[in-house]
Amino acid sequence: MKKQILIPLVILGFMAIVGATVLTGKALAATGSRNDDMVSKLAQELNLDQTKVQAAFDKIHQERQAERQAEMSSNLDKAVKDGVITAEQKQKILDKMASKEPGPGEKGEMRQWATDNGIDFTKLKDYGFGKGSGNGRGQFGQNK
């Protein structure tokens, strides 16, 4: 009986940790090895099938990404309405973000991409860009 209560509570706690990690912008290791270790350990601890735990983890991750994408699109809509960027630039930003997430080693590449597309991310701070994850850089590696 206790196991029936404990498993959902542990999974709920795990989901909260994953959600907090995603929401604070703290990316897990690019190779996914940290994710694999966490999933493996959680599956062992709860005596669950690792593929089911991985599937739940992936589903939560995808939901959080969709939420961030929707929020970003909404913020960019405001920037377009305020004349900070064009609708075309908004779409380019969304496409770039969907193609890959910028990392610390890509600062120069992202600045060049923004320059090439006529986008000044310093003007987008009020729209959710330029708010970094504590590493001294904001969205697209722009300095604060």
* Torsion angle defined by CA atoms of residues 45, 49, 50 and 51, in that order, rounded to the nearest 10 degrees: -160
Percent of the chain residues topping a pLDDT of 90: 19
Please give the DSSP secondary-structure letter assigned to residue 120: -
Please answer whether residues 121 and 90 qualify as being in contact, where contact means their C-beta atoms are separated by less than 8 angstroms.
no
CA-nearest of 116, 92, 104 to 140 is 104
pLDDT value of residue 95: 87
29-41 pLDDT, tens per residue? 444 567 788 888 9
Helix 50-81 and helix 87-99, axial crossing angle in degrees, nearest 10 = 160
CA–CA separation, 44 and 99 (whole Å): 34
Q: Look up the domain containing 107 and give its range.
A: 2-141
Q: Provide the domain count of the chain.
A: 1
**pTM (global) more than 0.85:** no
